[in-house]
Amino acid sequence: MITYLIPTAKEMKFSGQTYPHFVPNKTRPLIQKLCQKSVEELTDFYNIKPTAAALEFERLQALKTGQAAAYPALTLFNGLMYRHIETDAIPEQKLTKQVYIASALYGIIPADRPIAPHRLDFSHKLKMHGHSLKSYWREDYDHFAHKQELIISLLSAEFADVFSPEQRKRFITLEFMEEKEGQLKKHATISKKARGQFLSQALKEDCQTVQDIKELQFHGFAYRPDLSTAGRTLVFVKTAAHKH
């Protein structure tokens, strides 16, 4: 079975039903450490405004005391990729059994796992026992990857780097480009939208193999074998419509 790995997003939206919040053992020390920071320290740590830092301070205290509201991760995150995942068109069991989210606070979790709103990601310099966040999570990330049959990585470099090189080389990674007037372009907006669109199509068509993935066509994207490398990086290109 194919396992799809996606990153968290900075943008969140929370509404609707809340769920019981299960805090993994490895998450607790992170919460404790973050809770030691004042609003002023959080302002610097996250590089955000004091009003946003005050809100984050309240969230962290709620996490610490077990009062935090939790929402399914897939609906909590609201970044560009998440807004392009067609949750209504995909069988729920596929989303919950095949899609996993790589998080700096929770480790690797099923897409439907209820989690609390938070800001932490791997760009933040939080040291645990003298180690970076990436080092802190590497063993858990590798343990997860080792158990998977086939991983399609939709992770950014920031998240992929948490895994050891040994596990990373097993991943099938994807790149998305746009062809405009004969020029190939790659930028964050195209990539983020395409990750969500690709994931939706792959799950709707019940892809079982790398060959199935290569045959996918979605939102003008098609696989380009001439740009792909040795079966490990699959490149999909979208041809931009010409304006007359």
Q: What is the DSSP string of 190-229?
A: HHHHHHHHHHHHHHHTT--SHHHHHT-EETTEEE-TTT-B
Q: What is the pLDDT of residue 244?
A: 42
| Banded model confidence at residue 98, pLDDT cuts 50, 70, 90 | very high
Average confidence (pLDDT) over 19-24? 90
Q: Give the C-alpha separation, 69 to 213, whole Å.
A: 37
Q: What's the predicted TM-score (pTM) here?
A: 0.93
Q: Where are the beta strands (DSSP E) in 31-126?
A: 71-72, 99-103, 107-110, 114-115
In the numeric block, the tokens 């973050």 are attached to 34
Name the β-bridge partners of 244: none
Q: Where are the beta strands (DSSP E) in 104-232?
A: 107-110, 114-115, 150-153, 172-180, 183-185, 217-218, 221-223
Whether residue 242 is predicted with pLDDT greater than 70 in this model: the reply is no
Q: What is the pLDDT of residue 240?
A: 75
Q: What is the pLDDT of residues 161-209, one digit of tens each?
A: 999 999 999 999 999 999 988 899 998 999 999 999 999 999 999 999 9
| Banded model confidence at residue 233, pLDDT cuts 50, 70, 90 | very high
Q: Give the C-alpha separation, 175 to 194, whole Å.
A: 9
Q: Give the C-alpha separation, 187 to 135, whole Å.
A: 28
Average confidence (pLDDT) over 58-70? 94
Q: What is the pLDDT of residue 231?
A: 67
Whether residue 243 is predicted with pLDDT greater than 70 in this model: the reply is no
Whether residue 133 is predicted with pLDDT greater than 90 in this model: the reply is yes
Average confidence (pLDDT) over 103-126? 94
Q: Which H or E run contains 80?
A: helix 80-83
